[in-house]
Structure 1
Amino acid sequence: MTYQDQIAQTGLAGDDRVVPFQVEGLDVRGRAVTLGPLVDAILARHNYPAPVARLLSEAIALTVLLGTSLKFEGKLIVQTQSDGPVNFLVADFTAPDGVRGYARFDQEALDQAVAEGRIQPHELLGKGVLAFTIDQGPDMRRYQGIVALDGETLEEAAAVYFRQSEQIPTRVKLASAELFDRDAEGKPRHRWRAGGMVVQFLPEAPERMRQPDLHGGDGDTGSQAHEEDDTWAEAQMLAATVGAEELTDPDLGVERLLYRLFHERGVRVYDAQPVHDRCSCSEEKIRSVLAGFTAEEITSTIENGEIRVACEFCSSAYLFKPEEFGVSQ
């Protein structure tokens, strides 16, 4: 029996479904996901080079893990801006289940980095920032948290964000994989997968969540000593054992992985939440943006008698006539 057959018969979550979980014996809660068709479809639209695809797929995994925890109608945007070969990543989650992603990179700088073997995430991203933006709609103020990217991976920077902004001890695991195999008919196929897990320490006694202060940089001589809670240390140790191949294995499944990690402490999983490859662009939204342009700006966008706008996320193309905006040719 294949894993897909087991999903159908047992109700396992399968791909593209975020699974919330709780380990009462360790006072931790979290979310885990394996992404298959969703991330493969997003990456296929742009035919990104493999190093770029790996970074964007991890950013998408992080975004769906955090976005599905939103308790309101709104949007979570996760993006990087940096000076490395991959200088911009963005993924956003629109509640309750829509995900999209996009990357920008310098092809020449990327080729040089690959030739020199500089293909680790921190080497491709370089120095910059990782920003988390929560948008609750036009009548609500946006919230944004920013952490530095300075030699860290996305998962390391995300953990720092939680520690600084949310004051919650957090461990983040992200992974991506490029698979070459054969389909049910024996034909060769290429596909991308991604996976992730967020584990957070949430004991009933808030004082147990206290952690050592982050180092303040050069000249900081303050004491960093503080004994870490034993259960959180154990939870981190277990989470650290998760390999990239486990987070992306199409035949393992989230529930099996969670059981493998935490069964001795009693892990409980909750209803999975599906996520979908869904762009929020539309003809109406783009027309509204163009309506705010001046006549001169509209004129500068005209090519062959029409205005063509392509969505960077989903590559959908929208065509408009200049006359719609009061501009004659």
Structure 2
Amino acid sequence: MTFGQKIAWDDTVLPFQLDQSDIRGRVARLDGVLDEILKQHDYPAKVEALIAEMTLLTALIGQTIKLRWKLSLQVQSKGPVRMIATDYFAPSREGEPAKIRAYASFDSDRINAANPFDQIGEGYFAVLIDQGKDTAPYQGITPIAGGSLSACAEAYFAQSEQLPTRFALSFGQSTEAGTDEHWRAGGVMLQHMPKASPFAKDGATGEQGLLIATDIIDGDDKENWNRVNLLLDTVDDLELVGPSVSPTDLLVRLFHEETPRVFDTQSVQFGCTCSEERVRNSLSIYSAKDLEKMTTSEGLVTADCQFCGAQYVLEPKTLGLEAKAGGGDNA
């Protein structure tokens, strides 16, 4: 399979700041990361579009957080797409890439002719932050609302974090001459810098009674936010995902009057943290009787990683509460 030539800014996130407006942001471009994620399963095109959007949001949000380990985004719903899960793992060392993984579960016979977002239905959008050992994980939840996953993320930041946030995203299958179709995604994230006392004195004006960005800022902050958003409204899809406009050139085109200041680019790649040890730990709470129900006719317990496709084949007697010393095979 032949994909398009790697572009210098593919699979990167560029942080920037608009000092005059007290707004920070990110520009992301994803290509190979999406190829690796989507090839793990045979997803319908509408599910692929949702995963592409969720992965792009994960890359943008993950880079804004002072993260020691993992950011997770999740959608749980009653629709044909039951769940979408993504993880962003912070670089373990300076200069190394961050890692992203994602997958979705869905009822294939319920996928319909509606647009991708309508395959989700009623449910919730969740953000989980785990800083690793000796820390308590954080979780924030907001209802599915607004007509897109990016709108759900905007609602989460307004409602749970009181941070005005805006996403402009584009994603789809690239049809470059001489190459096979493959998914590309690109986007811009804007976020007002945190304030000690969010405004919101007049209550929430968003869908389902949720806060929106302009509910939580006032005065000059609101004027600056609206002006920068009007500038972002002028962006087009090809500027977000195409090969001709680099992230820095895009920022100059959109925000040259705001004098954007850029920082070091963060590269991202597909990566998974599954391991036999993690599988064993997850099964350590089960009794031998419970494990017997999980054992195949060949007398083995198998576990598949939905993120990367790895399969673990283990001896039941080495698992669970009554585990005996011994190993298993990672196929």
TM-score band, normalised by the shorter chain? 0.7 to 0.9
Secondary structure at the aligned position of 2:274 is classed as coil
Equivalent residue pairs, number: 306
Q: Which amino acid aligns with 1:157?
A: C
Distance 1:218 1:75 in 2: 30
| Residue 324 of structure 1 pairs with residue 318 of structure 2 | yes
Mapping 1:200-239, distance limit 5 Å: 200-202=191-193, 213-215=203-205, 229-239=222-232
Q: Which residue of 2 aligns with 1:195?
A: 186
Q: Which residue of 1 aligns with 2:305?
A: 311
Question: C-alpha offsets along residues 159-206 of structure 1, whole Å, 9 cap, x if unaligned?
Answer: 111112222211112221112334xxx4x4121111222101238x86
Q: Which residue of 2 aligns with 1:175?
A: 170
Q: Which residue of 2 aligns with 1:11?
A: none
Secondary structure at the aligned position of 1:275 is classed as strand
Could you tell me the percent identity over the aligned residues? 36
Distance 2:55 2:208 in 1: 34
TM-score (norm 1): 0.84
Q: Which residue of 2 aligns with 1:10?
A: none
TM-score (norm 2): 0.83
| Residue 100 of structure 1 pairs with residue 101 of structure 2 | yes
Distance 2:6 2:303 in 1: 43
Q: Which amino acid aligns with 1:287?
A: R
Secondary structure at the aligned position of 2:144 is classed as strand
Secondary structure at the aligned position of 2:66 is classed as coil
Q: Which residue of 2 aligns with 1:68?
A: 63
1:79 to 68, 74, 79: 74
Q: Which amino acid aligns with 2:187?
A: G
Distance 1:322 1:142 in 2: 31
More deviation, 226-235/79-88: 226-235
Distance 1:327 1:166 in 2: 44
Distance 2:116 2:100 in 1: 25
The alpha carbon displacement at 1:131 in A equals 0.4
Q: Which residue of 1 aligns with 2:212?
A: none
Alpha-carbon spacing, 1:5–1:137, altered in 2? closer, same or farther (3 Å): closer
Mapping 1:141-180, distance limit 5 Å: 141-180=136-175
Alpha-carbon spacing, 1:140–1:257, altered in 2? closer, same or farther (3 Å): same
Distance 2:125 2:299 in 1: 40
Secondary structure at the aligned position of 1:229 is classed as helix
Secondary structure at the aligned position of 1:150 is classed as coil
Q: Which amino acid aligns with 1:322?
A: P
Contact 1:82–1:127 (Cα < 8 Å) also in 2: yes
Q: Which amino acid aligns with 1:119?
A: N
Alpha-carbon spacing, 1:176–1:230, altered in 2? closer, same or farther (3 Å): same
The alpha carbon displacement at 1:217 in A equals 8.0
Q: Which residue of 2 aligns with 1:265?
A: 258
Structure 2, unaligned runs of 5 or more: 92-97, 210-214, 325-331
Distance 2:312 2:14 in 1: 36
Question: C-alpha offsets along residues 73-102 of structure 1, whole Å, 9 cap, x if unaligned?
Answer: 121110111122212111011212121001
Distance 2:201 2:187 in 1: 24
Alpha-carbon spacing, 1:211–1:61, altered in 2? closer, same or farther (3 Å): farther
Distance 2:260 2:146 in 1: 34
The alpha carbon displacement at 1:211 in A equals 8.0
Q: Which residue of 1 aligns with 2:34?
A: 39
Alpha-carbon spacing, 1:85–1:152, altered in 2? closer, same or farther (3 Å): same
Question: C-alpha offsets along residues 132-185 of structure 1, whole Å, 9 cap, x if unaligned?
Answer: 011122422121111111353111111111112222211112221112334xxx
Q: Which amino acid aligns with 1:298?
A: L
Question: C-alpha offsets along residues 36-71 of structure 1, whole Å, 9 cap, x if unaligned?
Answer: 101111001112111101111111111111112232
Contact 2:70–2:88 (Cα < 8 Å) also in 1: yes
2:245 to 252, 255, 263: 252
Structure 1, unaligned runs of 5 or more: 8-13
Distance 2:272 2:157 in 1: 27
| Residue 294 of structure 1 pairs with residue 287 of structure 2 | yes
